[in-house]
Structure 1
Amino acid sequence: MSVFTKVSHSELQEFLRQYPVGELLGFQGIGEGVENTNYFVDTSDGRWVLTLFERLNYADLPFFLGLMEHLATRGFPGAMPAHTHEGKSLTTLNGKPAALVRRLTGQSVLFPDIEQCRQVGRALAELHIDGQSYAGRCENSRGAAWRLETGRLIAPKVDAGARALIEDELAAQQKLDLSTLPQGVIHADLFRDNVLFVDQRLTGVIDFYYACNDSLAYDLAVTLNDWCFEPDGELNPARWDAMLSAYRGRRELTAAERTAWPLVLRAAALRFWLSRLYDWVFPRGGDMVHIKDPNQYRRILEHHRNTPPPAF
């Protein structure tokens, strides 16, 4: 359970008094997530998710919460942040920035089917379209500069094979400039555990705390890499085709995006391999902190380096 900051019953009761959400009925830590502390909270006025932000830049938090509200008011299946009696969506708890958002119905899926992949592709395109009217701006904290810096930091601490792969891929990525591709608001972390379903119906997109302004194609690559690869690093062509076709049904990729596509896929795989390696090499303290397997994304990166992506 990734809980870095513990919250007592009395502390949570006091915190909730600033919101028009009724009385506290119960709460529990959430097992997913590696960046923030999250709790499910039940009150007499509904079900909520409480997030305490552990490492995010405080100045960026209004961007995330404003984006969630922007999308929710346009019918996108995202969580609506709660506002205090004074109209604030960002507060503090136990010395950490905190936010309370409506808990969405549904569950994430570990083994998605074709229809679920199709719905995720369509939802991602809708997010990219709706996000064009959002005025907020936030740089990608895990962008090209972060990948270069983190790769150089990790390389001396891993085995020779991983070090050679990191160094070679960082050199290859110098040919890619994502800023030249169509830009907009991206989720940047639309993994399987951040999408909720009730049976075959997509009911929620959650965890917008990596959202930023960056390449739309990069966001699509991040999503495809998670949803359309098997644990052994092999591509599932049927899921890939379903998701990509659904996305393109709402937003077509440009010629520049298609040309850059092989390197974009590699950049997306490198980003998550490096972040998982970092957590492995430099572990943080916490209550049973969940560290994801970095080798999964090494296999995906190696696949993209060795195999051209399916033709459009």
Structure 2
Amino acid sequence: MAVFTAVTDTELAHWLRDYDLGDVVELRGIQSGIENSNFFLTTTRGEYVLTIFEKLTAEQLPFYLDLMRHLASHRVPVPDPMPRNDGALFGLLHGKPAAIVSKLEGKPELAPQVEHCTEVGQMLARMHLAGRDFTRDQPNLRSLAWWEETVPTVLPFLDDAQRTLLASELDHQRAFFASDDYAALPGGPCHCDLFRDNAMFAHANPAPGHEVRLGGFFDFYFAGCDKWLFDVAVTVNDWCVDLATGALDAPRAEALLRAYQTVRPFTPEETRHWADMLRAGAYRFWVSRLYDFYLPRSAELLKPHDPGHFERILRERVAGSAADTLHATPHRPCN
């Protein structure tokens, strides 16, 4: 993503001796995002993405890489990690863990329509079901415990209304997470960051009956084991909103949820707590954007996101909690 760690052509050529990927043709930094150093890598064998992990440790990384390999083996379109000559899925570059994955076909759709949301909803449900037999377990590292740790660090930068909202919503989510209904929610490996810029659409040769074709999901480095409903809420909060106001766009939200539930219908507990989870998804990203905005790290290419966007979304979700439950009407799976 943002380039924190620069790599010279000589360093890259030396590092790639441990791979069977051919010679380097081009290495180009990817500017979006703020967590890792990502590059488009073209070799004489194909196109890939090289990631240098700025925060994740060598002990944490196998969860993410093994999850992508597991999903790819279950025909979920995700980047497939490239093994080194010794079979390992990552090595050290500049003393930091680094990996190469396959590059997905297509490009992001930053102005999604109903048909894009339909494709995303169906594939998200397929991804959740495909992860049921994944054997590694790692919690979502940006969940409640991280919120409780991070909120005090950003409070000094905020006005009274913002501090009140952060505190009151944290209390609401603590109570929700402690409830029996929350414990009953189904879950497993989740993407946890499935924004519209983390999916590719291939528009050439669309599938019969579809105007668009999903190329796949990528950037799994916030993934963790969580409630599936949280993953759906995070996705809806980005794919199905009016960017100016943060309000839900009903046709897109209904299309995504209907498509998801044709593959995996919601449980009664999920239906009851859809509004709570929409709030949880908004809160997670407001807190992280506040942190990245007010306590940034230096980077060669760094563009922190506006935290005000998710503040607006959270306020909309809190104000519209009763109405938001209407978008969770269960649908029967297709025969």
Q: TM-score, normalised by structure 1?
A: 0.98
Tell me what 1:112 maps to.
Answer: 112
1:214 equivalent in alignment to 2:226: yes
Tell me the distance in 1 between the aligned counterparts of 2:110 and 2:231: 20
Q: Is the 8 A contact 1:176 1:264 kept in 2?
A: no
Q: Which runs of 5+ in 2 are unaligned?
A: 204-211, 330-335
Specify the SS of the correspondent of 1:59: coil
Matches within 5 A, 1:1-312: 2-177=2-177, 178-199=182-203, 200-232=212-244, 233-307=246-320, 308=322, 309-311=324-326, 312=329
Q: Is the 8 A contact 2:81 2:99 kept in 1?
A: yes
Q: Deviations over 1:232-291 (max 9, x none)?
A: 212111100100000000001111112222111101100000000001110110113120
Quote how far apart the aligned CAs of 1:152 are: 2.4
Quote how far apart the aligned CAs of 1:180 are: 3.6
Overall identity of the aligned pairs, in %: 41
Tell me the distance in 2 between the aligned counterparts of 1:116 and 1:273: 25
Specify the SS of the correspondent of 2:238: helix
Specify the SS of the correspondent of 2:222: coil
Tell me the distance in 1 between the aligned counterparts of 2:183 and 2:12: 42
Quote how far apart the aligned CAs of 1:151 are: 1.6
Tell me the distance in 2 between the aligned counterparts of 1:66 and 1:248: 27
Quote how far apart the aligned CAs of 1:31 are: 1.3
Task: Write the letter of the residue equivalent to 2:197.
Answer: D
Tell me the distance in 1 between the aligned counterparts of 2:63 and 2:159: 39
Tell me the distance in 1 between the aligned counterparts of 2:57 and 2:231: 21
Tell me the distance in 2 between the aligned counterparts of 1:67 and 1:51: 16
More moved, 58-67 vs 36-45:
58-67
Quote how far apart the aligned CAs of 1:67 are: 0.6
Aligned residue pairs, count: 312
Tell me the distance in 1 between the aligned counterparts of 2:238 and 2:6: 30
Q: Is the 8 A contact 2:114 2:252 kept in 1?
A: yes
Q: Which runs of 5+ in 1 are unaligned?
A: none
Tell me the distance in 1 between the aligned counterparts of 2:266 and 2:17: 47
Specify the SS of the correspondent of 2:26: strand
Tell me the distance in 1 between the aligned counterparts of 2:301 and 2:46: 28
Specify the SS of the correspondent of 2:201: strand
Task: Write the letter of the residue equivalent to 1:293.
Answer: D
Quote how far apart the aligned CAs of 1:310 are: 4.7
Tell me the distance in 2 between the aligned counterparts of 1:34 and 1:261: 29
